[in-house]
Structure 1
Amino acid sequence: MSDLLAGRADIAAGLAVRGADAVGASVRATLVSHDVPARLAAADPALWGPAAEPAALTRLGWLHAHRHSRDLLPQLAELAAELDDLDHVVLAGAGGDTLAAEVLAECLGRPLTVLDTADPGPVRAALADRPARTLLVLAARHGLDRTTDAHLRAYRQAWADEGPDAARHVVVVTEPGSELAARADELGAVVIPAEPGVAGPWAALTAFGLVPAALAGAPVAEVLDEAEALTGALDRDRDNPALALGAALGAAPGTGRDTIALVPDGTGLDGLGRWAGALLADATGGRVLPVVSESPDSPGATGPGVLTVGLGGALGAGVGPGVAADVAVNGPLGAHLLTWAYAAAAAAVTLRADPFAAPPEPVDDDAAPESGPPSSVEGPIEVYAPSGAPADLTGALRWLLDGLGEREHLVVTAYLDRHADAAVTGLRPLLARAAGRPVTFGWGPRRPQHTDPHGRHLQITGAVTDDLEVPGRPYTFAQLQAAQAAGDRRALAGRERPVLRLHLTERAAGVAQLLETAGRTRT
């Protein structure tokens, strides 16, 4: 880290990127020679080639979203004052449209309940928490998916006794003219228009990211100020931290480092890596693998084939102590959000990726779970091993890890309760240590699917002891979640990706046994 501190930094608007030129100096020179900094700052849709240009024409609004979003501030202030008695803000929507708001609220220290799952546990917990004082924010570009529709139905039933006043409990964030906007009119809900064409992690500085965070009390005007302060640097060849970071990210695969480890450096903004990882997966289409590490000393955070990027708060040129990073990025949150989006788009130029390609098809939430007995049962864990794999738990895990090729990684997806079952996240470092290969972890169905072509998969599901009906629908939340997990497995099978499924018949005991087994597993 001392070498990193001694090296040159690109600094603007209180955000510093160090170490990038040691990785990407030649790529940066190439980008500059093709006038990429100025063209990207000017939202040139031709940067990613003719095939990508039609999508880019409508998807580059994130570059100026921080300016357009200022128009929302008076409405948000008025709405927050009008609804100040509703102090429990719940955000319901698909993962890509909720992640930025969740990270904004977390980094700014504001409480925001996020529902992007059909698991009955978190849904029941949210419904039980101050229902009469709950403000439900529905976020979707077009219409509600089946899970978010279920959330709305559950809340409307909870508010049924409140009569016409129930409408004031709902705020909708969607694109103008969308199916959801029409439905919001029927509900009598407030509609806040989102930037057209900007979706998923790219939408952090649009209404999708800002509205839920602002209603939860986050100082979003300051975030917009921080992004605006960086804007003047984006067309520059030097002293442009976003360009420096983008060049390093784009150069990494050419140096044999196609895994980007995103490591919190202990200086704040610890949740930011989740959003940055999703953004990089979107922008590069699987050409790099973002891995969100728990800490600097977590397995997989450093090593051969890994570009380690330390992330931290508003320390200007500072970096956290003891972080063995290749690149360090430190600065205020709003500057981070714009820097990472620009850097991801610039990296896509180098990697010849279409950063705005249509996202993968959503998980099929109408798939019937497969029938058939498990290959083995070990205490509270049912093992559903694929053909050719050992039937027992330890053997199946070893088979999954031993089969990882030189360019492959392991994807762990848990269709569980990310609060009550949070201990299962400990699998990622245990399996990374055992595999010696990159391992990612995600909560279903949020997991990005861009990296599936190079992945082997471990899916974890769990029994539900206290299910919840979906009002007006012929299925329960648990049945909806089971269908999502089955749809995920079916999609992976269609791409000929190996999937080992472990079903926990008793969740807490199953997680404990799984962690113990993974800790003993070696390739």
Structure 2
Amino acid sequence: MSSTTGGDSPDESNVNVAGAENVISVGAAVAERISATVAKLVEDKVASRLAGSDHTLWGPAAEAEAIKRLGWLSSTLVSAPFVDQMAELRAEFLDEGITHVVLGGMGGSSLAPEVITATAGVELTVLDSTEPGQVLAALADRLDKTIVVISSKSGSTVETDSQRRAYETAFEAAGINPIDRIIVVTDPGSPLHESASAAGYRIFLADPAVGGRYSALTAFGLVPSALAGANIGDLLAQTERFQPLLSDDSPNNPGLLLGAALAAGAPAVDKVGLIDNGSTVVGLGNWIEQLIAESTGKQGTGVLPVVLDAESFEANHVLADVLPVRLVSQLGIPAVDEIQVAGSLGAQFILWEFATAVAGRILGIDPFDQPDVESAKSATRALLDNRPAPTAPNFVDQGIQVRGDQKLLQGVSTLSGALRSLLSTLTPQSYISLQAYVNRVAHPELAELRDAFATATHRPTTFGWGPRFLHSTGQYHKGGAPTGVFLQIRSIPDVDLSIPERPFTFGQLITAQADGDASVLESLGRPVLVLTMTDAVRGRETLLAALADAYRSA
């Protein structure tokens, strides 16, 4: 590896790390800010200790969890048998004319396969929603040629369990034996492992020593990706070639540099803008988002990932609390206050996992637990058990039902006024979280709201599809810095779908998930505005017009 520092020209004042792959280039201002932190990491031999699975790196309170969660460091070895197994199984399915792969999974079980297959250019239908229209569309798509991978680490994820039940019923109605068309990926001994074994399903067991968000190179990432046609052998080889660079106790270690850049500036710089600037890895930011948010967003601290593209407001304006990280295909010369990251997909997976674990040490938190995720699940279960009558909206304007606490909406009677009231709570350290509990396949245009809100407010803005984001940024929203301002967007489904052998429907489930999460956020004192669209087709335009009016009237 090599590095160059010093000098006045941009070319000479950036740190460029090389090795088996060029992966990171650090702008001069960032390099100066993190230099002392990196030196301390080198002095403490953090790289070699982490590479050697030292579970004491995060302090005594984290040891019990960390000792069970470092298996990702040896995933290339443990996962090697999947290469031939999956090749044989894929060939078997292709011979039977089964060409369509669906993945039912959430969070770590779906985000890595989505990136792997998109980067490989192969088709994988990712069903990570409980929105009834989205579920019905998946069930109606080439069922006779479909194999379904049901993927859950805990084996008790309500979304995944519901998706499995829906597909079992659909296959049976079509005269297809579900045993022949459903594959299960889970941890040994999980409830799903036990029930799937009893039913006779094909089962692939993942390494239980790997947490969900670090599981890209385990069965969770590899089984659905390989069945869809991605070359997982190449992926593991990429990781294996790069990983030795991370064990070097050197100030040029890319994992130490990236980990320090993520965490050393907190709490003043506590957000990272993940800017897709021509990266050949498709959708990498969405995977990194979950990894960083769930790993660091706890105990009132953490790093908030904001997924961006090159045209986003945050990618083109200096925000004091945001570190811009440009994901590029080839390293160049970054701006002094930015970082560039490149490299193969396998290198990216292990680099970001390593750096996130390092960031956890710097922040003084356990990067392997997720203490606040259960709160929204508990609230959802309580609502499903009781199924209270829907609360009346505070008011309806332009076909959108508006709900919020009395303090937020006191004296407000218009949609633009409600937005103005919510956004008036922003501070120089705040972020906006847009959460759309809507069919993301039918209404992808709603994601465009993110750029509009960021441009209008000059504040970093995240966008998440519900309930998908509950398994990603949901942990940070509740456990991280209490600076979020939340806009929840819902729609009234045109259709609903029963969940076999469950006393609730998909429509009731997604409503309970949205209500449960909003109630937890409100109980923590976070400002939450809930907008329910009666016409989702016109929803984007209505909200954009109301946002513009809110700022004209400000």
Candidates 66, 69, 74, aligned match of 1:56: 66
SS of corresponding position for 1:518 = helix
Candidates 229, 240, 244, aligned match of 2:257: 244
Matches within 5 A, 1:267-278: 267-278=279-290
Candidates 36, 50, 55, aligned match of 1:40: 50
The aligned amino acid for 1:296 is: A
Matches within 5 A, 1:257-276: 257-276=269-288
Q: What percentage of residue pairs aligned between the two structures are identical?
A: 38
Q: 2 CA distance for matches of 1:104 and 1:145? A: 23
TM-score (norm 2): 0.89
Q: 1 CA distance for matches of 2:188 and 2:424? A: 50
Unpaired segments of 5 or more residues in structure 2?
Answer: 1-8
CA positional deviation for 1:240: 2.2
Matches within 5 A, 1:365-514: 365-366=380-381, 367=383, 368=387, 371-388=390-407, 389=409, 390-447=412-469, 448-452=473-477, 453-514=482-543
| CA RMSD after TM alignment | 2.1
Matches within 5 A, 1:299-314: 299-301=313-315, 302-303=317-318, 304-313=320-329
CA positional deviation for 1:4: 6.4
Which region of structure 1 is more displaced relative to structure 2, 367-376 or 507-516? 367-376
Q: 1 CA distance for matches of 2:184 and 2:129? A: 18
**Structure 1, residues 96-118: CA drift from partner, whole Å, max 9, x if none?**
32111112212222211111211
Q: How many residues align?
A: 517
CA positional deviation for 1:521: 3.4
The aligned amino acid for 2:304 is: P
Change (3 A) 1:405 1:340: same
Are 1:282 and 2:301 matched, yes or no?
Answer: no
Q: 2 CA distance for matches of 1:517 and 1:167? A: 50
Unpaired segments of 5 or more residues in structure 1?
Answer: none
CA positional deviation for 1:369: 5.6
Are 1:147 and 2:159 matched, yes or no?
Answer: yes
Q: 2 CA distance for matches of 1:311 and 1:263? A: 6
CA positional deviation for 1:515: 2.1
The aligned amino acid for 1:421 is: H
The aligned amino acid for 1:200 is: G
Residue 127 of structure 1: aligned partner: 139
Matches within 5 A, 1:89-168: 89-161=101-173, 165-168=177-180
Q: 1 CA distance for matches of 2:177 and 2:504? A: 28
SS of corresponding position for 1:205 = coil
**Structure 1, residues 237-291: CA drift from partner, whole Å, max 9, x if none?**
144222211121122226x321100000113224001111111112212534434
Paired residues of 2:146 and 2:181 also in contact (CA < 8 A): yes
Paired residues of 1:434 and 1:521 also in contact (CA < 8 A): no
TM-score (norm 1): 0.94
Residue 17 of structure 2: aligned partner: 10
**Structure 1, residues 212-252: CA drift from partner, whole Å, max 9, x if none?**
11111011111111110112111111442222111211222
Q: 2 CA distance for matches of 1:323 and 1:89? A: 42
Q: 1 CA distance for matches of 2:22 and 2:65? A: 30
Candidates 40, 45, 53, aligned match of 1:30: 40
Q: 1 CA distance for matches of 2:349 and 2:392? A: 47
Change (3 A) 1:292 1:369: farther
Residue 83 of structure 1: aligned partner: 93
SS of corresponding position for 1:102 = helix
Q: 1 CA distance for matches of 2:174 and 2:337? A: 54
Residue 365 of structure 2: aligned partner: 353
Residue 294 of structure 1: aligned partner: 308
Paired residues of 1:291 and 1:438 also in contact (CA < 8 A): no
Change (3 A) 1:111 1:519: farther
